[in-house]
Amino acid sequence: MNRHGGYYGENKDKIIDFSVNINPLGISENIINRVKGSINNLIRYPEIDGITARGIIEENIGIDKEKIILGNGATELIYLFSRAIKADKVLIIQPTFNEYERAFRISGSEVYNFVLTERDSFAVNESNLLNRIKELEPDVLVLCNPNNPTGKFIDYHQLISVFNYINQIDSHIFVDESFIDFTGERNFLLLVDEYSIFILRSMTKFYAIPGIRLGYGIANKGLIKRLNYYKEPWTVNSIALDILTEIFEDKGYAIKTREWLVEEKKFLKEELEKIKNLTVFNSCTNFHLCKLMKHKAEKLKEELLKKGIYIRTCEDFKGLDSRYFRIAVRTQLENKKLINGLRDLL
């Protein structure tokens, strides 16, 4: 399997990494200071039930801490969910993040894909999805929203008939909202009490801390209890637990990030659209899926790397092929380098 996580080759400090969807504003000063202050806590085990950290999340998102579970990154919770649910059949809306499929497969589930196409702008057609679910009766429906790598967002109103049917057959919904903070879009939190839905959140991307490993999940108490039965102890390190206060308190960082994104995404998209032999898809979040008309993305990746730029080819995503690649929105200076590089090569 092609496993990613950014550029780790030669001169890694000099390469501009568009392959990971990390906030380029960097780690906020508040978080950096809190990490420093937290070093002396490394001599203790992390609080085993994470109750203090869950309390901080409760205060900030208005969801009872008994409906929250912490993860060593969002990744732990993808795998934990797949193990706890022990689904026979899982339906994944594709193309999307590859770890869902891997997690369910190694947990013994049969994985089925509902593949969205470029012709439909990678949008979900509700009645087609409902028909597929009626036919398959999966134990879990998996979606990522906004979706990686297409950048598409779906409002839950568009899926209510699907969710109601899933409720009827006692199945579950898994929604990865790892990129929701970048959007102004409505999240799925309102559905937690009505449906057996698991909502996954990540601190990695928006707060630029993929190295620290911190995510959380939200669900009804019964589902959280079931996950806790399988949860391993002490998975979230002390520093990750300690910085939660700073993450939520730093409203300025969040505002600055959204301002940067609105402006830079517009600039980047407009400039990319001027480049020939390249299609750029609309995105609700901080990255763009792109498609080459005449070239292979792998070749482009190699050529860009010579210019100090690294992109994510997408041949390993279901429904995409060797022509697609994904780029994160970065700072204007970096985005300009990418645009110049693409202009030279295409």
Q: Which residues of the chain form contacts with its own copies (CB under 8 A)? A: 3-6, 8, 20, 22, 26-27, 32, 35-36, 39-49, 72-73, 75-76, 79, 83, 99, 103, 106, 208-213, 229-230, 232-235, 237-240
Q: Min. distance of Cβ 79 from its own copies in angstroms? A: 5
Residue closer to its own copies (CB basis): 90 or 203: 203
Of 113 and 235, CB closest to its own copies: 235
The four Cα atoms 26, 27, 33, 37 give a dihedral, to 10 degrees, of -140
CA–CA separation, 92 vs 46, rounded Å? 34
Considering Cα of 79, then 82, then 86, then 89, what sign does the dihedral take?
negative
Report the b/e string of 133-143 with b at 16+ CB within 10 A.
Answer: beeeebbbbbb
Nearer to its own copies, 227 or 292 (CB): 227
For tokens 């449906």, the residue is 195
Sequence-separated (6 or more) residues with CB below 8 Å from residue 127: 161
Q: What's the min distance (Å) between Cβ of 75 and its own copies?
A: 6
State the nearest-atom distance from the C-beta of 252 to its own copies, in Å.
18
Cβ neighbours of residue 10 closer than 8 Å, sequence gap 6 or more: none
Q: Which is nearer to its own copies, 28 or 152 (CB)?
A: 28
Phi, psi of 161 (to 5 degrees): -65, -35
CB of 119 to its own copies, least distance (A): 32
- Best CA proximity match to 311, nearest among 320, 324, 293: 324
Q: Nearer Cβ to its own copies, position 38 or 187?
A: 38
Q: What is the DSSP string of 227-248?
A: HHHHPPTT-S-HHHHHTHHHHH
SS3 271: helix
Catalogue the E-assigned strands of the chain: 16-17, 68-71, 89-94, 110-115, 140-144, 172-176, 197-202, 215-218, 278-280, 287-292, 309-310, 312-313, 324-328
Residue with smaller CB distance to its own copies, 48 or 333: 48
Nearer to its own copies, 82 or 94 (CB): 82
- Least Cβ distance, residue 163 to its own copies (angstroms): 28
> Cβ closer to its own copies: 165 or 230?
230
Residues 109 and 87: their CA atoms lie apart, in Å, by 5
Shortest Cβ distance from residue 115 to its own copies (Å)? 23
Instruction: State in angstroms the smallest separation of the CB of 6 from its own copies.
Output: 5
The answer to whether 136 touches 89, Cβ cutoff 8 Å, is yes
